[in-house]
Structure formats: structure tokens, C-alpha cells
Amino acid sequence: MKRMQLISAGVAVFWGLMSLAFAEDVSEIRVRNTGIGPLEEQSVMAFTSLKAGEPFAQARVSRDVRMLQNSGRFSDVQVQVERAAGGLIVTYAVNPRLRINRIAVEGADYIGNKKALELLDLGPGDLVDDVLLGTRMQPVRDHYAKRYFPDVNLSWDIVPRAETGLCDVTVRVHEGQRAKVKRIRFRGNRAVKARDLRGVMQQRRVRLWSWFTNSGRYNPDELAMDVGSLRSVYLDRGYLDAVVGEPVVHRARRKVAIEIPVQEGRKYTVGEIAIDGMELFPEAAVRPFLPLKRGADASMRAIRQTADVIRDFYGRKGYIETRVTYDIRTAPDGTADLAFSVREGTLARARDVLIRGNTRTKDKVIRRELTIMPGQILNEVAVRVSKSRLQNLGWFSFAESALVPTMDPEYYDVVFEVEEMRTGQFLVGAGFSSIDKVSGFVEISQGNFDLFHWPFTGGGQKAKFRAQLGTERTDMELSFVEPWFLDRKLALGIDLYQHERRFLSDDYDQENMGAAVSLSVAAGRFSRLKLRYAIEDISVENVSDDASELIRAEEGSRLKSSMTLSLSRSTLNSSFVPTRGNLSSLSGTLAGGPLGADTDLYELEARTSQYVPMLFGHYLNLRGTATVVEEYGDAESVPLFDRLFLGGAHTIRGFQYRDVGPKDETGEPIGGRTAAYVSAEYNVPVVKNLRLVTFYDMGMVWEEAYDFSGDFNSAWGIGVRVDIPGFPLQFDYAWPIEADEWNDQPSGRFSFLIGYKL
């Protein structure tokens, strides 16, 4: 302790003397050229702020160094401070970069010297040195790697002309030989199929679609990392003695064959599970929650999860910094005894919950997402959940949490550090589908909107305006969502819209103009309850002279006032491209009657979509929908715009849009009061963001309500899915199998959509 005190005192004296020295005035500022090119003193002084005759300031010197480095004019910047009779002499020692007089590329036979020069993005007049050139070489290497040149090597010479400050640069490309990975084999694997092992590797083989994905490039770095990934496959299946050897690479001309030796060892099951070190709680309190049981596979993933469960048991109760380690003892009989050792933490409370880094988003908006409050027991799991919720809001590029000790050892401050990102979007685009034909759109959205405070960001609300104009439709939509209405977890939604749809029929156009307001609330962990009121004016216009009497009778406008109550439940593992889980909903709509207006009807609907994982990463999607709509009161029929239709890319592929079910005497679809539809779609992932599918659709529309009798329409087909976030593409071709009396064996049809239906 005395020695530490002496050292601390010495450091304090040293810094005191340094502070006195640096408090002196600067008598002279010098510039020294440490390079070979010419240097004008003013080109350095233009970036410095320290002046002769002023007190020395370390902060200003540090700023000057940063400014000189960021200027891009110098390869190296150093500062020297010397004491002189009149004060301090400050010298900026810099190595100026040379300007390129001529730059040439040699040896880029495959891509061409001109292309290599373009990738370097350097030309006469640009500043250059070895460091900058080394950075500019990477795009050239990447370009060659995409074309299966794994051994490309780049070198260069910089020949200076000292008297002018210019230089000649020559870049030499040593391309090496092209190499495509044709084969990846494993030697010694019996328990795990080669396909499963290849599935976890970054190194891939050449395939038919490699021209699109650039897969199959030989990459020694990726292959080296794959060794650890392959061993993890065995460890997670209970093969605790598994050894994955060094890959053997055979190169013959342009072909690469990789062989990876594997020693699987035996598979272990869990024997005894011991927990040592639990003094604050009985061991029996945590055992029911352990994911590992006696006799289960001794999976390393499950062993780590078990340690996490024990640690979280303490963390939920406020015992922070609890540590859990484990020891595995294998036996010749194939069992593995596990010993978990607990080092119990200390009980702590949250003194303050602090939020840092938010410049736009209000503290209130962030705090309402947190599950930890000041004064509570410091629940580490709640802190982790809170951080995850902040990350999932879509407002922050970075969210992290930290526990900061206070003067009281029993209290900690919980700090959430966030970094805000852009939450507004302006999108302009064009598209084509087999239903809408050609269309263009403009969309303005803000995911962190604030309706009542300038600059209208930071309130956690969502606002969007979208306009779409096309050959078959014209849409205008304005939507607003307040997720915490009345400071409760109650979502308020407001929608204003105008939809003009010309693709519904060749005999008429339809225009919907209306407004809707909704309230939704969570109804359990996976479910949501929603109540929506809408009022809209619906017009059937431009009716053809050749239209049937039924359709001509629909011409004109109706006012519809409706209330919809819906319950939805989702256990999907992704909202974009799910591979497991279920999405189901039940809804009931009442229009007219006590709600007024011109349309009296009710509608009941049930939907479900189940995703079932299969072998090799494949999965099956089973969907089904049943809907009934019926008039009541004085109404004599269901209006045309509220009838049910099937057919087209969204439902029964292989049939024209809305073409399934009843038709009038002219052959125009007129819909029905009952509809049912089921679909089975088998998905085969090919590469990232690309899937192949095969599907079977079946359904029918019946004229009367609650009438499910009669013929069905069905079709099967194949398709391609391109999973681009924000712009997913669906291509399908379907062949009808069965057709109803109104669809006499139609031929196969191609359909194309932007967007998926879950």
C-alpha cells in the first residue's frame, strides 16, 4: 500500500510539472518535411490553430494533428515540443504525399489493365502513398475473387520526382490460376450426412446458379474457419470427442477438390447432473427449469443453455454477476456426467435507469418500452429484454445496456446507450404484376413520428403517405399509428384512402373513398385483439353497355358504415420469410343496421397459415381460408363490391383473377356469398434470398351463404421466390386440375407479384 501511495504521488508531481511547462507561451512554430517531395510551409499552417505568442494548449495541438491527418495530404504527422530561452518551440513534422504524374497497370490479362485501373480509382493529379495504394488494391482483389482467382497478388512501385513533388506509379497484377471448388468431401463421417456438414460451411461448391451467387470460389480463410463450424455440428449432437482435421486441398488446373477428415468418436448421453455452490436457494428450485435431463443427448448447445438458465435464475432475482461454469466427465459406457459450479452474485437494486445517446427520440418514448424501473430489484433478464426491445423498434442502429456501480454497493445505475438512425423514408419506384399491370408509386414514411412537436420526429408514432398510379389502378393512402394511445399499450390507427380499381372487371370500374379508425391491444403473448370502424363511399362506374342487368343495377354510389372485430395469433419465427410457426385470425364484420348508411350485411372469416420445417432446410406452408357474407334486414342482396371472389396470384393460381365461381350470362364474374380456399406450398431454399416452390391450390366460391357443396377448382404449379427485403418477388406458373361449370378446363397461367402473402 505504501509503495502504491509513493507511485501515485510521483505521478501527481510529474503531471503537475508537465502542466506548468505546457502553461508557457509558444515562442515559435516550425514545419519540417520528413518526406522527399517539396513542401510549402503555408500548406501545413492552413490546417493548424496554434499561434506563436499564445499559451501552449495540448487540446489545440491534438486538434491540429487530426486536421492535418484528415486533410489527406500527408502520409505521417508528428509534433515535437522543445523548451527554448524565449518559450516553447512547436515543430510539425509531416511527410507529404506525392501527386501522381502517370499511373499504369501491368499483367491484368483476364479483366484487362483498363478495368483494373478503373477499380483502383486513381489517376494523374491524385495524392498517393503506399498506405493509400494498399487500400485501393482491395476492389481489384475482390473483383478477381468473384471470377475465381483466389491467388491474385498485387505489387506496385512509386517512383518519385523529388524536384516536382510528382511520381510515377506502376501496379503489377499477378493473377495466378483460376480455381473453382468442384467437390467437397468428408472422410470418416457416418453419423452426420455430408449434406448437413456442407450446409454450415462458408466455403461452397460451384453450382448451376453460381453465375448469380458467385458461390464456389476457393477461399482458404473461409475454409479455415469452417473447421470450427464443422466440429460444432458434432458437439451439438453429443459427439464430444469429435475431431475435424485439416482440410486437404487438391488442385488440378482450374478445379479444386477439398477433402476434410473427420473422427466422429462416440455419441454421449447425459448421466448425472450436479449443481454445486447454490447456498442462497435450494437446488430443487432450479432443476425443473433445466433444458437437459438424464438420458438426453449430451449436446454442447444444450449444456451451455443449461448454464444460462441457472445464471438467469439468479439474474431474475437481482443477484447480479452470478457466474456458472461447467465440467464434463465422459465415461466408457457412453455417458457424460455434468457438474455445474455456481459462484453466486450479490443482491442489487436499480437506483436510476438512464438513457443516453437519444437526440430526437423522447425519453418517455424509450422508457415505456423498458421492463426495468428505478428502485426495483435489478433483474438482469429484464435488462436484457429491454435492450432487445429497443433494438427491435427500428429507430436505433445501436442499443446496449450496462450496469454502473454507485457509492452504495447495493445499488447500480442501469444505463441504456442508443445511437439513433434515420427513420424516415422517401421511395419512388415502378412495378409490374399480372393483376395491376404497369404502375408507379411514391411513398413517404416516418417510423418515429411526432404529430404535435416540430420537427415531427421522436414521438414513436408511425405515419405514411403512399400514392400509386398505374394503367389499372390509382391509389392514395394516408395512415397514422399511435402505439401508446392514452399512455397505454393500446394502438390507435387512423387511415384515409381513395382506391380506384380498373382491374376488377372489363365491364365496370370501382372507386372506394373512406376513412377508418382502429384500436388494438395485445391479448396474451402471441395474440392481438383489434376493433376497427370504417365509413366509405363505394362507387361502381363506367359500366359497359354490354354488361348484364345484374351489373348495370349496381351502378352508382353506396355509403357503407361497418365495424370489424378480429382476433389474430402469430407464432411465426419471422415476419418476412417464416419457416416455422402459425398465423391465424378470426374476424366478424357488421355493416349497416345500428351503424347506419346504405349497406346492411355481416361477414365472418377464418384464416390460418401453418409453416412446417422439413429436412435439409426445406419447409411446407399450409394455408386455408373460409368466408361467409350475407345481407340482413331490408337488404335483398349483397352488393357486388362486397361479394367473395377467388382466382389469381393471391389464391387459386392457374385461374384468372376473380374468375372462380358464379358468372352472369355474359361470362362476367359476379362473386358469391361463401368462399373457401386451401393451399399447400413446398419451399426449397437454393441460395440466400432465392427459393424454388411447388404448390397445390384448391377452392370454390358458392352463390349462397353457408353453402359449401358442389364442385371445387384446383391447380398445381411451380414457382420462384426472390426474397429481397422491401421488394420480394413471386413468379408462378400453374396448371388447372379441376374446374367448375363456369371454367371449362382453362389452360396454364403465369403470374407475377411484388410482395408475399403469409
Decide if 692 contacts 703 (C-beta within 8 A).
Answer: no
pLDDT of residue 635: 87
Give CA–CA dist 464/449, Å, rounded: 10
- Phi-psi sector, 585: left (phi>0), alpha (psi -120 to 50), beta: beta
pLDDT of residue 453: 87
Q: pLDDT category, 454, cuts 50, 70, 90? A: confident
Mean pLDDT (whole number) for 537-546: 90
Q: pLDDT category, 5, cuts 50, 70, 90? A: very low
State which H helix or E strand residue 506 sits in: none
Q: pLDDT category, 745, cuts 50, 70, 90? A: low
pLDDT of residue 209: 66
* Average of per-residue pLDDT values in the chain: 89
- Phi-psi sector, 144: left (phi>0), alpha (psi -120 to 50), beta: alpha
pLDDT of residue 505: 84
User: Of the ranges 276-285, 308-317, 568-577, 746-755, which one carries the lowest mean pLDDT score?
Assistant: 746-755
Residues in the chain: 758
Q: pLDDT category, 71, cuts 50, 70, 90? A: confident
Q: pLDDT category, 161, cuts 50, 70, 90? A: confident
pLDDT of residue 147: 84
In percent, how much of the chain has pLDDT > 90?
60
Q: pLDDT category, 628, cuts 50, 70, 90? A: very high
Tens digits of per-residue pLDDT, 670-700? Answer: 999 999 999 999 999 988 888 999 999 999 9
Tens digits of per-residue pLDDT, 202-243? Answer: 888 887 766 666 677 888 888 999 999 999 999 999 999 999
The CATH class of the 348-420 domain is: alpha beta
Mean pLDDT (whole number) for 34-39: 80
Tens digits of per-residue pLDDT, 254-270? Answer: 788 999 999 999 999 99
Instruction: Indicate if the pLDDT at residue 742 is higher than 60.
Output: yes
Indicate where the chain has its CATH 3.10.20.310 domain(s).
21-96, 98-174, 180-263, 269-346, 348-420
The CATH class of the 21-96 domain is: alpha beta
Mean pLDDT (whole number) for 610-632: 94
Q: Which fold has domain 180-263?
A: Ubiquitin-like (UB roll) (3.10.20)
Give CA–CA dist 531/517, Å, rounded: 9
pLDDT of residue 14: 38
Decide if 540 contacts 560 (C-beta within 8 A).
Answer: no
State which H helix or E strand residue 47 sits in: none
Instruction: Indicate if the pLDDT at residue 12 is higher than 60.
Output: no
Q: pLDDT category, 75, cuts 50, 70, 90? A: confident
The x, y and z cell numbers of residue 339, run together, are 457438474
User: Strand ranges (DSSP E) for 42-122?
Assistant: 74-84, 87-96, 98-106
Q: pLDDT category, 4, cuts 50, 70, 90? A: very low
CA proximity to 181, closest of 146, 218, 208, 213:
218
Comparing 84 with 278, the larger pLDDT belongs to 278
Tens digits of per-residue pLDDT, 589-619? Answer: 999 999 999 999 999 999 999 999 998 889 9
Distances in Å between the Cα of 107 and the Cα atoms of 158, 167, 175, 244 are 17, 21, 7, 39
Domain 98-174 sits in CATH at 3.10.20.310
Comparing 535 with 666, the larger pLDDT belongs to 535
Instruction: Indicate if the pLDDT at residue 3 is higher than 50.
Output: no
Matching CATH number, 269-346, of 3.40.50.2000, 3.40.50.1360, 3.90.1170.50, 3.10.20.310: 3.10.20.310
Comparing 177 with 214, the larger pLDDT belongs to 177
- Helical spans, DSSP H, in 23-57: 41-45
User: Of the ranges 44-48, 150-154, 707-711, which one carries the lowest mean pLDDT score?
Assistant: 707-711
In percent, how much of the chain has pLDDT > 70?
95
List, as one string, the DSSP characters of 175-203: -----EEEEEEEES--SS-HHHHHHT-SS
Matching CATH number, 504-754, of 2.40.160.50, 3.40.50.970, 3.10.20.600, 3.30.420.40: 2.40.160.50
